Amino acid sequence: MLFNVRLEENLLRIRECLRAKEWRPGPFRAFEVFEPKRRLVHAPCFADRVVHHALVQVIGPCFERRFIAQSFACRVGKGTHAASDYLSSMLRSAEARWGGVYVLKADVTKYFYSIDHDILLRIVSRTIGDPDVLNVLRVLVKEADCIEGNRGLPLGALTSQLLANVYLDQLDHFIKDTLGVRYYVRYMDDFILLHGDKTELWRLLAEIRDFLACELHLTLNNKTRVFPASHGVDFAGYRHFSGYKLPRKRNVRRARKKFAGLSRCYADGRVDIDTVRCCVASFTGYMRHCKGWKSAESTLNSLILVKNSEKDKE
């Protein structure tokens, strides 16, 4: 990597630019990802990633102290499996308390692209008092070449992940501290509330909509709904029920399609056995956290590892 060839020189140049308040982000590289769904990602250049990582190391702990325990994603020890396990424990506790449980499931419309820069920087300034750090954050937020106008953070930047959590931390404290909700969990822009009375959840939803619109200039997706927990709760990669969880149907379908493609590629010699092993390990690792070994077995059976040359001999 060219940056590492002159590592010390490049790091000193970045430091001097930051000290002189002359640092500006370079162009972002755009590319699409298709799992778990199609998204346009903008990744900063390597030199800028150094700045992003340094910033997160400095300011991350300041915000981490404020984050609630029920906030997951982009935090150490707070990944999808931790979020899924927390929801499972919530369902068991709520069922023991009320018997029948209802779910409010919501997510924010186009979250990363809807974050208001001025509101975000105002929130950040309540915790970060250093003017130099605030200046770098302002430049990062407002001068990214892939963002137009006064809204949005680039998907693919480490600072975006932290700042997105900081933004919705306001919602977390509103729900927990102001509304006094006991059963709540959030994974980035997806969140769940549980209650024994669906009327109460509809009331809470109205309060949450008003808060998001007035305080954060955000709206909830049309898929937001209230339903019985017995129908299953789709969250953090799994379908949750009281006492167990199942794999998402679309994840199993995607794995079957991927294994069928891998079989063809392996037969043609376009992938090696190590690549296949990695894909199988990823899938079995996912399935290990839920009740779905029949689905796992039938999915793995779609993987046929025979070279075309061996077929010809037959």
Residue 97 lies in a domain: yes
Residue 223 lies in a domain: yes
**Sheet containing strand 244-247, strands side by side:** 233-235, 238-241, 244-247
Within this chain, do residues 25 and 115 fall inside the same structural domain, yes or no? yes
Within this chain, do residues 83 and 228 fall inside the same structural domain, yes or no? yes
Residue 314 lies in a domain: no
Residue 130 lies in a domain: yes
Within this chain, do residues 227 and 268 fall inside the same structural domain, yes or no? no
Within this chain, do residues 33 and 153 fall inside the same structural domain, yes or no? yes
Residue 218 lies in a domain: yes
Within this chain, do residues 228 and 260 fall inside the same structural domain, yes or no? no
Residue 313 lies in a domain: no
Within this chain, do residues 64 and 143 fall inside the same structural domain, yes or no? yes
Residue 18 lies in a domain: yes
The domain tally of the chain equals 2
Within this chain, do residues 140 and 278 fall inside the same structural domain, yes or no? no
Within this chain, do residues 261 and 238 fall inside the same structural domain, yes or no? no
Residue 310 lies in a domain: no
pLDDT of residue 292: 85
Within this chain, do residues 39 and 125 fall inside the same structural domain, yes or no? yes
Within this chain, do residues 286 and 145 fall inside the same structural domain, yes or no? no
For the chain, 314 residues long, give each residue's pLDDT as a single digit of tens. 678 888 999 999 999 999 999 999 999 999 888 776 788 899 999 999 999 999 999 999 999 999 999 999 999 999 999 999 999 999 999 999 999 999 999 999 999 999 999 999 999 999 999 999 999 999 999 998 888 899 999 999 999 999 999 999 999 999 999 999 999 999 999 999 999 999 999 999 999 999 999 999 999 999 999 999 999 999 999 999 988 999 999 999 999 999 999 999 999 889 999 999 999 999 999 999 999 888 888 899 889 888 776 555 55
**Range(s) of the domain holding residue 295:** 248-302
> What is the secondary structure of the chain as a DSSP string?
-HHHHTHHHHHHHHHHHHHTT-----PPEEEEE-SSS-EEEEEPPHHHHHHHHHHHHHHHHHHHTTS-TTEESSSTT-SHHHHHHHHHHHHHHHHHHHSS-EEEEEEBTTHHHH-BHHHHHHHHHTT---HHHHHHHHHHHH--TT--TTB---TT-HHHHHHHHHHHHHHHHIIIIIS--SSEEEETTEEEEEES-HHHHHHHHHHHHHHIIIII---B-TT-EEEEGGG-EEETTEEEETTEEEE-HHHHHHHHHHHHHHHHHHHHTSS-HHHHHHHHHHHHHHHTTSS-HHHHHHHHTT-----HHHHHH-
pLDDT of residue 309: 60
Compute the distance between CA of residue 134 and CA of residue 163 in angstroms, rounded to an integer. 13
Compute the distance between CA of residue 46 and CA of residue 50 in angstroms, rounded to an integer. 7
pLDDT of residue 310: 55
pLDDT of residue 202: 98
Within this chain, do residues 151 and 295 fall inside the same structural domain, yes or no? no
Among 196, 225, 243, the domain boundary falls at 243
pLDDT of residue 38: 81
Record the pTM.
0.89
Within this chain, do residues 284 and 136 fall inside the same structural domain, yes or no? no
